[in-house]
Amino acid sequence: MKIHRMVFCLGAITITILAGGFTQAQEKPVVMVADFELVGVPAHLKASLSGRLQAGVAATGKYRTTDPTVTRKALSEQARQQKMTDCYAEECLARVGKALGASEMIVGTITKVKERFYTVDLKLVDIALLTSMNTVSESSRGDIEATYEAIDRAIARLLGVDVSTLPLPPPTGIWCPFCKHWNRRYRGLSGWSIPGNNLRGRRALADFQSHLGKAHRAGRTP
């Protein structure tokens, strides 16, 4: 009898813990992460740069994010209905975010200030009140691919987390046709310097070399 009672108590405790964790996960606010608005930056880089932002926000674990594909379609439809070319205005974004069940939204701009110098601006907005909750700005020097590191820093400052806690892999899908050496291409793609004797650096380098080899065999590198 005592054994049965003990098993029952342990089961009840386990269920309570699991239910508490589930409730906590459910209580995370929903955020809509809009694609970057690009100023002086080639349009074909938008998907990759915006993907970095969306992945970074999700990696913090502080929010549930709206589905990126659904978000883009909804923003495109909203712009069409409003007879606009895009939906970067905060009022337009807020309408879509509210429709998708988000309570907050993150909007951002990447600007080419001058040759080899870019700024990344992010804003966290309360959708109901349409007021800014936080704004940050980071800059990067070098090729456009170096802005990945600036995006990571901006996310960390915007949401109050340590940038080293963002478990983001080196970005893929962007090649640097003007880079003369593979190590410079790697530095631009990853946002990290050439890795030394550290586990994270060695893993990143191995991942990149594997990706580079596959791309070479597929004839996708310059």
Q: Please, what are the domains in the chain? A: 29-167 (3.40.50.10070), 169-222 (no CATH)
pTM above 0.75, yes or no: no
What confidence tens digit (pLDDT) does each residue in 131-182 have? 999 999 999 999 888 899 999 999 999 999 998 877 666 554 444 443 333 3
CA torsion angle 186 46 56 127 (round to 10): 170
* Dist. CA 93–CA 99, nearest whole Å: 10
Closest to 104 in 3D by CA, of 24, 158, 30: 30
What confidence tens digit (pLDDT) does each residue in 170-210 have? 554 444 443 333 344 444 443 333 333 345 455 555 555 56
Residue 177 has a pLDDT of 41
Query: At 35, is the pLDDT very low, low, confident or very high (cuts 50, 70, 90)?
Result: very high
What confidence tens digit (pLDDT) does each residue in 62-73 have? 999 999 999 999
127 secondary structure, DSSP code: T
What confidence tens digit (pLDDT) does each residue in 72-103 have? 999 999 989 888 888 989 999 999 999 999 99
